[in-house]
């Protein structure tokens, strides 16, 4: 089978080409969550990254369109002001202010 499908692709062709790859990703994600659950300190307050992961998983299962866009926006920092200093740490992959933002809007 080719690496890419002509658009618009037939649903069965998409499944034939990509299912095994994404099945492996799903199992990898499940294994990651199992490791987090078994880790020391698992009963402590949930880390913002794990909370973001759980929100992303809920979006995956909601059946609505544009899941990739909605997850990317959910993970992204929506603020317009630049930070004073990014410091030496790399990107966290999720916006740490999400939980505080949700608490303020509740």
Domain ranges across the chain:
1-44, 46-77
- Dist CA 24 CA 77 (whole Å): 29
In Å, the largest CA–CA distance within the chain is 51
Compute the half-sphere exposure of residue 80: CA atoms within 13 Å on the CB side of its CA: 0
Q: 105 CB contacts (<8 Å, ≥6 apart)?
A: none
Q: What is the pLDDT of residues 36-72, one digit of tens each?
A: 999 988 778 888 999 999 999 999 999 999 999 999 9
Provide the pLDDT for residue 18: 93
pTM: 0.72
Residues recorded for the chain: 106
């Amino acid at each position: 089978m080719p690496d890419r499908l002509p658009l618009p692709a037939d649903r069965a062709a998409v499944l034939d080409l990509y299912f095994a790859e994404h099945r492996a990703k799903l199992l990898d994600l499940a294994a990651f969550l199992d490791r987090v659950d078994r880790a020391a300190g698992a009963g402590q307050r949930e880390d913002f990254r794990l909370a973001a992961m759980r929100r992303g998983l809920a979006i995956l299962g909601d059946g609505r369109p544009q899941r990739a866009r909605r997850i990317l926006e959910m993970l992204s920092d929506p603020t317009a002001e630049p930070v004073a200093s990014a410091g030496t740490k790399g990107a966290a992959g999720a916006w740490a202010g999400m939980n505080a933002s949700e608490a303020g809007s509740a």
